[in-house]
């Protein structure tokens, strides 16, 4: 498999698991607890009654729905057509664009929050840098970029099988190690405002959750 085809491979892979994803996250205590942490994370930083949020890769739209209900103006860009269609059903007050975030554009300083939950590991480092450059443009000066990804013993890249699903699909994954990710983000001008390490007892994964501020250009 060629790394440059990773977008097409990921798109096909998430199309296949979309229905299973929806069922899996509906009654999952681990996921629900996780979403509680995340809500606190965002709501603690909300400084006005209306905030604009962009979610990158919302999957089936579980978080979008939660933030819609909290009064956020929510927009999302989702690569997989099947995921995007479930997200539309789930969160009908959000603007959902079915497309690749790397090929999407927004006006500068549009968003108070940009979220990328379980998404940054879908990009090779070179493209993640391109994405972070876009995020810097799209965020308001006092905006936050919030992400999570799993903590791994070593930083490695490749096409890995999605083990915890019935359909044995592969997708590109850049597995991050905590220290490497923090150094990398700082190098791109993203400074940690808050962070939590969440151990999901149902999957034994360790999730790193961060809220970043962006370095202001002179
Ligand atoms: C592991 S899922 C996470 C879904 C959801 N954020 C969650 O935490 O449950 C990653 C999602 O990111 C989407 N995605 C991956 N690459 C993307 C891209 N280049 N542009 C937009 N969405 C992308 C995938 O289609 C998938 O729905």
Give the pLDDT confidence score for residue 27 in this predicted structure: 63
Among protein residues, the one with the nearest Cα to ligand 1's atom 24 is 57
Q: Which of 8, 42, 59 to mutate to test the pocket of ligand 1 (most atoms within 8 A of CB)?
A: 59
DSSP letter string, 32-85: HHHHHHHHHHHHTT--SS--EEEEES-TTSHHHHHHHHTT-EEEEEES-HHHHH
pLDDT in tens, 69-100: 989 999 999 999 999 999 999 999 999 999 99
Number of independent structural domains in the chain: 1
Q: pTM, whole model, 2 decimals?
A: 0.94
Find the CATH number of the domain harbouring 162. Answer: 3.40.50.150
pLDDT in tens, 36-69: 888 888 888 877 778 999 999 999 999 999 999 9
How far away, in angstroms, is 218 Cα from ligand 1 center?
33
- Of all residues in the chain, the percent with pLDDT exceeding 70 is 92
The one-character DSSP state at 165 is S
Residues touching ligand 1 (Cβ under 6 Å) are 7, 10, 14, 56-59, 77-80, 83, 100-102, 117-119, 122
pLDDT in tens, 6-41: 999 999 999 999 999 888 777 666 667 778 888 888
How far away, in angstroms, is 11 Cα from ligand 1 center?
9
Give the pLDDT confidence score for residue 170 in this predicted structure: 86
Give the pLDDT confidence score for residue 29 in this predicted structure: 66
Sheet order of strands, 139-150 included: 95-98, 73-78, 52-56, 111-117, 139-150, 205-214, 190-200
Give the pLDDT confidence score for residue 35 in this predicted structure: 80
**What tokens appear for 91 in the block?**
């969160």
What residues make up the domain containing 210?
3-214
DSSP letter string, 98-114: ES-GGG----TT-EEEE
- Decide: 214 and 189 in contact? Cβ < 8 Å: yes
Give the pLDDT confidence score for residue 25 in this predicted structure: 73
């Amino acid at each position: 498999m060629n790394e440059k085809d990773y977008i097409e491979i990921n798109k096909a892979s998430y199309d296949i698991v979309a229905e299973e994803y929806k069922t899996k996250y509906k009654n999952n205590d681990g996921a629900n607890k996780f979403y509680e942490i995340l809500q606190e994370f965002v709501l603690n930083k909300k400084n006005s009654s209306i905030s604009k949020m962009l979610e990158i890769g919302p999957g089936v739209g579980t978080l979008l729905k939660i933030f819609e209900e909290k009064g956020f103006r929510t927009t999302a860009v989702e690569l997989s057509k099947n995921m995007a269609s479930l997200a539309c059903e789930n969160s009908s007050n959000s603007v959902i664009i079915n497309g690749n975030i790397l090929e999407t554009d927004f006006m500068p300083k549009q968003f108070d929050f940009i979220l990328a939950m379980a998404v940054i590991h879908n990009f090779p480092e070179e493209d993640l840098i391109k994405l972070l450059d876009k995020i810097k443009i799209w965020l308001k000066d006092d905006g936050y970029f919030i992400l999570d990804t799993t903590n791994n013993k070593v930083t490695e890249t490749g096409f890995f099988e999605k083990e915890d699903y019935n359909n044995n699909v592969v997708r590109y994954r850049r597995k991050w190690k905590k220290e490497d990710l923090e150094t990398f983000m700082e190098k791109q001008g993203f400074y940690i405002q808050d962070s939590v390490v969440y151990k999901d007892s149902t999957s034994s994964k360790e999730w790193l959750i961060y809220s970043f501020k962006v370095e202001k250009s002179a």
